[in-house]
Structure 1
Amino acid sequence: MNRWRLLRLGMGVLMVTLLLLALDRLFPLPSTPRYSPIVLAADGSVLHAFLNPTQKWRMKTELTEITPALQQAIINKEDRYFRYHFGVNPVAIVQAAGRNLFRTGRTTGASTITMQVARLLEPKERTFGNKLKEMLRAVQLEVHYSKAEILQLYLNLVPYGGNIEGVKSAALLYFQQPPDYLSLAQTVTLAIIPNQPRVLVLGKNNALILAERNRWLRQFQSQRLFPDQDIEDAINEPLEVQRHAAPTLAPHLARRLVTQYPGQPIIRSTLRRSPQAKAEDLTRNYVRRLRELGISQAAVLVLNNRTRAVEAYVGSADFGDAASAGQVDGVRAVRSPGSTLKPFLYALAVDKGIVTPKLKLPDVPTNFSGFRPENFDKSCAGEVTVERALTYSLNIPAVRVLAEVGVPAFTDKLRAAGFRSVAKVAPRLGLSTILGGCGATLEELTGLYAALADGGRYAPPSLVLNQGPKPTKDKSPATNTSLTSPAAAFLITDILAQRTRPDLPMGYQNSRHLPKIAWKTGTSYGRRDAWSIGYNQDYTIGVWVGNFNGQGSPALTGADVASPLLFDLFNALAYNSPNRWAVPPATLDFRLVCAETGLVPGEHCPNQLIDYYLPGTSSARRCEHQKEALVSADGAVAYCRACVPATGFRRQLFPNLLPEVLAFREAQGLPSSRLPPHNPTCRLVRADDGAGTALAITSPLDHAEYVLDRHDKQQMLLSCAAGSEVRQVYWYVNDRFLRAAAATERVFFRPPSGTVKISCADDHGRNVDIQLQVAEL
């Protein structure tokens, strides 16, 4: 019999359990509250807060922010037996029913904290039926959540008047502190307001709130809830409070992160509050001084080289400046990078053994298969060292180096460094890439320079801390990608740290406030973008200045406009950083090179200097900047080995310049010495024993199309680049002789229509042909 009773009891319990589970499924708990997204700094302070979708300030209070003082104040005031009941307090219900029935004492509803959470999750009119539903929901909440989580929900939902809900929102908007930084007096103040949020309005009824606060503090003292001294200090603390605006630092990054992590109430960024505030203030004040020059915007990114954490992110000078499109994020805007990619190109050339710092490169007008770059100042120097070409940001030597490195090899490295716009159009990019002919963002360029600061190791900039996996739409390249060798990165850093250079802003030549950094400037075509990016051992800072509408300005250059802000940022953010600097890696060594060419000294190199090089990688080509020739005693003719007389000749050294360099020097009227004409009585084929220099037509362009006006007497220029031994050249048009001319003479003629073949032969038997199309309109 007892067995049947136990069985029936067990079946009853099972049926009740199944019924409760079914009811739980049929009447699920309300969805969790929709919080105001907030973006935190690296130290946990709030950088930026947004209204939630219902236009309320409801910032999520984390469990760690609920201090013991806050817990004790809330529980003792609202629900002393919160930790012991199952959502409903039967004793409190009986007591409340008695008071309400016999109308003795204050009328109450016996609501527990859990019941208040149920009501706040589902606001309803206060009726007996709704009170019963609250009780049921309270029990359901106790089943699903722990006591700590229920208290957290309560503190996130309690009203504080207007559109402010939750302890954290009230703490930030009224006291400008998170809940765990509040004093006891401030904590108790926030504990008493939710019961009367329309009466106890902070900033309006402070005197009333102060009296109510102190009354509760005395009550807590009588309950021995807090030490007497803490109570006395809290009572004596004045209440001078008003509503403040929500934090709005880093608005561009905040919007970016909220978009990337939808539904996340709290996003922990890598930004540091102090550097961010300083960077915003410096940028805003600096651009204000530039407005009269037609410049309205700037963007700044500060990167920690060791962690790759972004510590300051300024998307524009003023987010609220609608007239200048202040809401555009200049850190992510794709712009022309100007000359800012040159350091990376030279680093790759170092790794390929193509260049060393003292190597001399031609800096003369050059035609690269139809592309004729010009230097920024429209002038040429003839020949320059690699370090001078980089510090003076010369365009022609950079294009020449890119032609040797190869555009695909260069763009592949940029793609590995996260250059997304380059990745999209890489097959269509050409030699103009190094002069800003591609797109890049401030974020991409700053990350690239951080790699140079870290020995060539690239890692993508980090924006968040422990936020979980990044969204698929924001994929970044793999970390720890080696873009250049440590040796190449050091050499480029050593060059960029030189202070004797034309892009040093006015007034900084003898300034004590010039930071110890390596930096590079850039200016895009049409002076639409000004860049300055610099780094030391600790930080890399990128600066862009310009207009978001693309409008140029005569004053918009990297040196004059972007670098002063860069220097101000380094002085403000890293002035007291250790004065450490990069040291040469063990893979670098020194060697003597010829001062005239930067190559390994040859037979005729009396002037030598020391240069860095990479053993086993750097070119070991010997210098031949001077060529020995056999000439007559009067220097009128030159002899080959076959026709040299027994006596009456001498050996003489002649400059062995590239034809284009020689032609440039002669065109500029600079001293130059050509090899005398070959002995006219020599009957043998002359090829200078294989030492002759190739002949090249520099004008017109091969495979180019020219359109001439049939009614105008337009003529076409013929010019060539020949070796120093060449005295005369012979021009042919469509295989018909045109005329003879000196090697440096400019010849003009009127070409026929259609396909035109132009040939040039020199007095040493060399010949070159080109073809072009000519049309007459």
Structure 2
Amino acid sequence: MDGRVKPGHDEISGRRSFKTILITSALICLLSIGAFAAWVVSLGPLPLAQARQVSTSVVDRNGKLLRAYAMADGRWRLPVDARTGVDPGYVKLLLAYEDRRFRSHAGVDPLALGRAALQLVTRGHIVSGGSTITMQLARLMEPRQERSVGAKLRQMVRAVQLERQLSKDQILDLYLALAPFGGNLEGIRAASLGYFGKEPKRLSLAEQALLVALPQSPETRRIDRHPETARVARDRVLERMIAESVASAEDAAQAKAALVPRLRKPMPVLAPHSADQAIAAVTDAPVIALTLDSGLQKVLEALARDRALALGPELSVAIVAVDNESGDVLAHVGSPDYFDERRAGQVDMTRAVRSPGSTLKPFIYGLAFEDGFVHPESLIDDRPIRFGSYAPENFDMSFQGTVAVRKALQLSLNVPAIELLDRIGASRLSSRLKQAGAGLILPKDEAPGLAMGLGGVGVTLKDLVQLYAGIARLGSSKPLREIVWKDDVREPLRLMDQVAAWQVGNVLIGTPPPENAVHNRIAFKTGTSYGFRDAWSLGFDGRLTIGVWVGRPDGAPVPGLVGRTAAAPILFDAFARTGKLPAPLPKAPKGTLVASNAKLPLPLRRFRPVGELVRAGSDQVLHIQFPLNGSRIDASTGDKQFSALPVKVAGGVLPMTMLVNGVAVGEIDGRRQRLIDPPGAGFVRLTVQDATGAADTVVVRIQ
């Protein structure tokens, strides 16, 4: 015998049993892991797209909220950036109360779970849930009614997935957008706006503690239904913050003394007409940026509301303010009160087609200045006159006699304006204004006529503001912009030449202002439509153009409604409420003729109507034969040099003066010809005036 002891039967059986247990345990573990993995896979991807759905928000040029629209199911949920849009004190309080190790854990906090389990065992009830912010976000993304081990396990798995896919800041932002605060308010921004009427960028300690407490039991702590319960919960948060040295006892005591709001506040509704138009135009963006300035919008809405109340119960007021340089709309007030049915508040009167009264007169004078047959200091007759069956009269039914053109425009005399329009042509005025972006509306099957100079055409307040901003821009209008689009390119549109635009502005700034207003600060014009249906006032300084309309939305007449007394005071008040002094108008462009009447060239000293151009005998009407109006002339010789341009004239009485862009360059010779040096590439206005004051003008393009 070798002396070795053979293992007994029991020992062999024990080893086999242990091995079997190990194998079985391993198989069970593998199966469990496989089952768990299969269960995790069955959960599917995180519903991030659905969680990121928010209410459509319309914001101003600086990102401030103008108006938000509830989601399809009626919930208010606004996007939030915890770093820039939320009071840091609130974030600190939230993390201290809900998840102290938020920045360090991987979605699940074992210490918090252990503490919660120990409290459950020792106290017999749940003291704290142990859920992290990430786990709470997982529950909000996939809400479930039951509170079970399986539900908690699901939250833990989802929390880990969230931590793997998102940064801590992204997780916090999502939580702050989804957290329930009672009723249909979701997220910190909706709650702060709904309960405190302000964005959560600055919150008191009392407000911070209340907003920390509400999501734990949002329905039983709703401040509009259970304010006392909400107060108790808020104070409990404050007590715990004292214990954890997050807040001082003194600050907490002051916070406890603050009253809890008992009513919800309405959501912001600034620029409602602009917001409605924006969401109709942009359908796939959660945040739509407008060019409006919320501060200016707010004060002008208040101005419109106050003035409408003073004017009468059925009168409406509309205001548009535009930045001259960019063409951006800074304020858009479509009515005094969006919800006032009596004033048809939801009708946007900035886009309503109405009769402009006398507000088109500055463009008549501008084209007359451009054509060179009249100057602001020229004399013109204001006397009874008839154009076929049309006999214009002044507003006060009187006539001023011979006046300076400057005064005729400042006093808004009708006869001089119609005489000038007869000279330049109503069709030309209409086409020029349309070229500059104004959508003029004429009666069906009617061609432009002299009556359009006194309001016989339809136009909107927005289009008028665009035209007046074109004068402020020295003759080039720019399409107005209200929605901020990517790659938005808007080319300037030709209204009139620079000299003519400056002359119009120089005249309008001298218009007598309303009572108690400062003189020579704002270039403005008023207008009153036929039958006292519309009162207008439009004005500009070197920075802004503002337009005001007053009237009834239904177009009914309002006896005594006059632009000078109803709309002009609102215009001047609007400029005052911008908070800035009026900016000076641009300086006179090069080549502007600034002179008294006595020092003007003889043909410019007095305006002569079209009928006086026809003379007896062999005299013919003055006419520029070459170049033709509207022609393009290739005069380039290279290196930005241009060859002399011949001008040939027929008819007229010698001596004749040649003007280039309104500046006299010499006389036409005896053969009725002259060579001129083009001022450069682009449009050039050529005018010839004879000894009797007759004139003819062509506009050509040098290239």
Q: Is TM (by shorter chain) over 0.5?
A: yes
Instruction: Tell me the alpha carbon deviations over residues 646-700 of structure 1, each in whole angstroms, 9 at most, x when there is no partner.
Output: xxxxxxxxxxx879689xxxxxxxxxxxxxxxxxxxxxxxx96546999xxxxxx
Contact 1:300 1:315 in 2 (8 A): yes
The equivalences for 1:631-650 within 5 A come to none
C-alpha distance in 2 between matches for 1:442 and 1:83: 55
- Equivalent position of 1:524 in the other structure: 529
SS, match of residue 556 in structure 1: coil
1:652-671 aligned within 5 A: none
**Which runs of structure 2 are paired with 1:35-114 in the superposition (5 Å)?**
35-63=54-82, 64-89=84-109, 92-93=112-113, 96=116, 104-106=124-126, 109-114=129-134
Query: Equivalent residue for 1:487?
Result: 499
1:216 to 216, 227, 237: 237
State yes or no: 1:153 paired with 2:174: yes
Residues 519-598 of structure 1 aligned to structure 2 (within 5 Å): 519-574=524-579, 577=581, 580-591=584-595, 593=597
Shift of 1:440: 1.8
Q: Is 1:280 matched up with 2:305?
A: no
1:622/1:67 Cα in 2 relative to 1: closer, same or farther (>3 Å)? closer
User: Which residues in structure 2 correspond to 1:242-321 (within 5 Å)?
Assistant: 242=261, 243-291=264-312, 296-321=315-340
CA pair 315-518 structure 1, distance change in 2 beyond 3 A: same
In structure 2, runs of 5+ residues without a counterpart are 1-33, 623-703
**Would the aligned equivalents of 1:452 and 1:490 in 2 still touch at CA under 8 Å?**
yes
Q: Structure 1 CA distance, aligned partners of 2:541 and 2:290?
A: 23
Distance 1:108 1:222 in 2: 16
Alpha-carbon distance in structure 1 between the residues aligned to 2:165 and 2:606 = 86
**8 Å contact from structure 1 (residues 30, 122) kept in 2:** no
Shift of 1:165: 1.6
Structure 2 partner of 1:600: 601
Deviation of the 1:153 alpha carbon:
1.1
Q: Which amino acid aligns with 2:499?
A: A
> What SS does structure 1 have at the residue aligned with 2:368?
helix
1:194 is displaced (CA, Å) by: 0.8
Structure-1 separation of matches of 2:496 and 2:609: 30
CA offset at residue 232 of structure 1?
3.4
> CA contact under 8 A between 2:319 and 2:350: conserved in structure 1?
yes
CA distance in 2, matches of 1:97, 1:212: 23
| Other-structure match for 2:368 | 349
- Which of 181, 189, 192 aligns to 2:213? It is 192
1:361 offset after TM fit, Å?
4.3
Aligned to 1:337: 356
Q: Which moved more, 1:184-193 or 1:157-166?
A: 184-193
Once superposed, what is the RMSD of the aligned Cα atoms? 4.1
Deviations 1:418-474 (A, max 9, x none): 32455999995444433333332212212222222233343334435x66467xxxx
Contact 1:47–1:250 at 8 Å: present in 2 too?
Answer: yes
Matched residue of 2:550: which SS? strand
Task: Indicate the structure whose relative CO is greater, using CA pairs within 8 Å and at least 6 residues apart.
Answer: 2
1:166 to 2:187 alignment: yes
- For structure 1, which segment, 557-566 or 126-135, has the greater mean C-alpha deviation from structure 2 after superposition? 126-135
User: What's the secondary structure of 2:51's corresponding residue?
Assistant: coil
Q: How does 1:398-547 map to 2 (within 5 A)?
A: 398-407=417-426, 409-421=428-440, 428-464=447-483, 468=486, 478-500=490-512, 508=515, 511=516, 516-547=521-552
Partner of 1:751: none
% same residue: 36
**CA 1:198–1:391 in 2, change beyond 3 Å: closer, same or farther?**
same
Preserved contact between residue 415 and residue 423 of structure 1 (Cα < 8 Å): no
Closer/same/farther in 2, CA of residues 429 and 136 from structure 1, 3 Å limit: farther
| Cα distance in 1 for residues equivalent to 2:291 and 2:278 | 11
| 2:688 aligned partner | none
Q: Hey, what's the Cα distance between the residues in 1 that align with 2:254 and 2:175?
A: 29
Q: Is the 8 A contact 1:659 1:693 kept in 2?
A: no
The amino acid that maps onto 1:600 is: P
Measured in 2, the distance between the counterparts of 1:224 and 1:321 equals 52
Query: Could you tell me whether the CA contact under 8 Å between 2:364 and 2:429 is conserved in 1?
Result: yes
Does the CA contact (< 8 Å) of 1:514 and 1:567 recur in 2?
A: no
Separation of aligned partners in 2, 1:57 and 1:586: 57
Q: CA deviation at 1:344?
A: 2.2
Aligned residue number for residue 232 of structure 1: 250
In the aligned structure 2, how far is the partner of 1:336 from the partner of 1:279?
23
CA distance in 2, matches of 1:165, 1:515: 53
1:38-94 residue CA offsets vs partner (Å, 9 max, x unmatched): 434455543434333222232222242134433332223223333334434455556
| Other structure's SS at 1:156 match | helix
Checking the alignment, whether the CA contact within 8 Å between 1:398 and 1:434 is kept in structure 2 is yes
Instruction: Report the Cα distance in structure 1 between the residues aligned to 2:294 and 2:302, rounded to whole angstroms.
Output: 12
Deviation at 1:530, TM superposition (A): 1.1
Shift of 1:542: 1.0
Q: Secondary structure of the residue that 1:180 maps to in structure 2? A: coil
1:590-609 superposed Cα distances (whole Å, 9 cap, x missing partner):
34645xxx9623xxxxxxxx
**Structure 1 position 343, deviation (Å):** 0.8
Conserved? CA contact 2:392–2:414, under 8 Å = yes
Letter in 2 for 1:584: A
CA, structure 1 residues 478+304, in 2 after alignment: closer, same or farther (shift >3 Å)?
Answer: closer
Q: Does the CA-based 8 Å contact 1:114-1:150 persist in structure 2? A: yes
**Partner of residue 689, structure 2:** none
CA distance in 2, matches of 1:365, 1:235: 82
The aligned residue for residue 13 of structure 2 is none
Q: Is the 8 A contact 1:67 1:180 kept in 2?
A: yes
**What is the match of residue 6 of structure 1?**
none
Using the alignment, how far apart are the partners of 1:37 and 1:527 within structure 2? Answer: 41
**Structure-2 change in CA distance of 1:688 and 1:117 (3 Å):** closer
State the distance in 2 between where 1:280 and 1:244 align. 19
Give the match's secondary structure for 2:546.
strand
In 1, Cα distance between the equivalents of 2:609 and 2:443?
38
Deviations 1:345-374 (A, max 9, x none): 322332232321123445556665776555
Structure 1 stretches lacking a partner, 5+ long: 1-14, 471-476, 602-620, 626-656, 663-686, 695-777
User: What CA deviation, in whole Å up to 9, does each residue of 1:458-517 have, x standing for no partner?
Assistant: 3334435x66467xxxxxx824445333322221122112245xxx65xx2xx3656732
Q: 1:75 corresponds to which letter in structure 2?
A: L
Contact 1:364 1:660 in 2 (8 A): no
8 A contact 1:457–1:481 mirrored in 2: yes
Q: Is the 8 A contact 2:67 2:271 kept in 1?
A: yes
From the superposition, tell whether residues 624 and 207 of structure 1 become closer, same or farther in structure 2 (CA, over 3 Å).
closer
Cα deviations by residue, 1:537-587 (Å, 9 ceiling, x for unpaired): 33322110111111112212212322222233334435x616745543332
